[in-house]
Amino acid sequence: MKRSLPLLAVIVGIAWSAATAQMSETGSFLAKLGRDTIAVEQYTMDARELQGTSIARSPQTTVRTYQATFGPQGILERFHVSYQRFGGTREFAVLSGRRIFRYEVRGSSPGSLELANPDRDFGPLYAKIGKNGRLDRFDMTATTDKFVVQRVSRINLQAVGRSFAERESTGHAFGALSPRDTVRATVNGAHIMIDYGRPSMRGRTIFGKVVPWNEVWRTGANAATQLITDKELVSGTTKVPAGTYSLFTLPSENTWMLIINGQHGQWGTVYDQTKDLARIPLKVTRLKNPVERFTFEISSREREGVLQFKWERMEASIPFRVQ
């Protein structure tokens, strides 16, 4: 499921602040993915209404204005968001309210809160609440989004938006956070393609942090990584018949396994172990120079080929041959 960058004031307003606010307040947030600023936001709020503006960089510089109204006990009555390109005309508006994400709030305010989703749909989320009852930090690094949002002093939204838009107009658009890409190769008459999302390091420690040890990883970003071949491939004693598959990885500090799964076309967090075709050990080597953007490669020599991927300072590879 594709998600937009979060509206933090909306999250905190709906969750707890609007129900207890007695005076009008304003605030600003800075959203970062690793070292990159991906959005800025400003809001005003009281016990009855929340409104604000967010400017996001990805995939294009987009302005979102929103308004929420609350009834007694802070119950949300209306929520409206409109979108437009920075400096442009409105593109569309939406009224949201049919789907509700429910979280169990653990911890105490002020202090640290954990928002756990019983359905495991999107979470857990972590929040830092100050002595004044306001959200100071919102951490989504335990989710697939990996954002961290921090309250900051007032931001000049128009200046920041102009900066984002100027970079875009000079050919330096931020673009998609994890753009889709394909790599193709012909090995002994077999046409092989990998379709995958390409996340970036952005100054983060990847393996053991962003990609945890001993957990199945989608081997890319967003939709599941797909392997397509029109001839049977063989790696060791494992045979992969012609067809379309999803590729997952189980990384650990000592051994890595490539998982070839018969399901395909799904979101990358949807993994059904009962559909595994095989789990094959990967050869992992450490690179001298870091690779910023996750990259797949397929090399060939006569009847044999090598499938490999690189990210950060790790390279994982597996040889195969074509029957």
Q: In what order do the strands lie in the sheet with 125-129?
A: 90-95, 76-85, 62-70, 49-56, 36-45, 25-33, 148-152, 135-139, 125-129, 111-116, 104-107
Run of H or E including 11: helix 8-12
| Stretch 301-323: mean pLDDT | 94
Residue 184 lies inside a defined structural domain of this protein: yes
For residue 16, the tally of other CB atoms under 10 A from its CB is 19
Spell out the residues 6+ positions from residue 4 whose beta carbon is closer than 8 angstroms to its own.
Answer: 56
User: Would you say residue 4 has pLDDT above 90?
Assistant: no
Residue whose C-alpha is closest to residue 53's, from 7, 4, 109 = 7
Structural domain span for residue 139: 8-169
**Within a domain: 147:** yes
Q: Same domain for 146 and 226?
A: no
164, 224: one domain? no
Same domain flag for 114 and 201: no
315 pLDDT above the threshold of 90:
yes
- Please report the pLDDT score of residue 276 as a whole number: 97
Comparing 10 with 108, which gets the higher pLDDT?
A: 108
Regarding whether 293 and 161 lie in a shared domain, the answer is: no
pTM: 0.83
Position 97 scores a pLDDT of: 43
174 lies in some domain: no
Question: Are residue 80 and residue 135 in the same domain, yes or no?
Answer: yes
pLDDT tens figures, 179-218: 999 999 999 999 999 999 999 999 999 999 999 999 999 9
Q: Identify the residue with better confidence: 7 or 293.
A: 293
Residue 280 domain-assigned (yes or no): yes
Residue 122 inside a domain? The answer is yes
| Same domain assignment for residues 114 and 26 | yes
Continuous segment of H or E residues that includes residue 81: strand 76-85
pLDDT exceeds cutoff 70 at 316? yes
Domain count, the chain: 2
* pLDDT at residue 89 in the model: 52
User: Which of 140, 169, 198 finishes a domain?
Assistant: 169
Residue 91's pLDDT is what? 46
- Mean pLDDT (whole number) for 43-48: 84
Tell whether 290 and 259 lie within a shared domain: yes
The CATH code of the domain that includes 114 is 2.50.20
Radius of gyration of the chain (CA): 23
Asked whether residue 2 is domain-assigned, the answer is: no
Q: Which of these three, 169, 194, 212, is where a domain ends?
A: 169
Is residue 108 domain-shared with residue 60, that is, in the same domain? yes
Q: What is the pLDDT of residues 100-136, one digit of tens each?
A: 566 777 887 678 888 887 666 666 888 888 877 778 8
Across all residues in the chain, what is the average pLDDT? 86
pLDDT at 94: 40
Alpha-carbon dihedral 133, 134, 137, 142, rounded to 10 degrees: 60
Same domain, 142 and 276: no
- Residue 185 CB neighbours (<10 A): 16
Tell me the range of 27-41, 89-103, 171-185, 242-256 where mean pLDDT is highest: 242-256
Is residue 285 included in any domain, yes or no? yes
Residue 239 is predicted with a pLDDT of 96
317 and 198 in a single domain? The answer is: yes
Whether 226 and 112 map to the same domain: the answer is: no
Q: Are 157 and 42 in contact (CB under 8 A)?
A: yes
Q: Select the more confidently predicted residue: 50 or 92.
A: 50
Judge whether 257 and 239 are in contact, CB under 8 Å. Answer: no
Pair 76, 188 in one domain: no
On whether residue 68 sits in a domain, the answer given is yes
Q: What are phi and psi of 91, to 5 degrees?
A: -100, -45
267 secondary structure, DSSP code: B
Is the pLDDT score of 99 beyond 60?
no
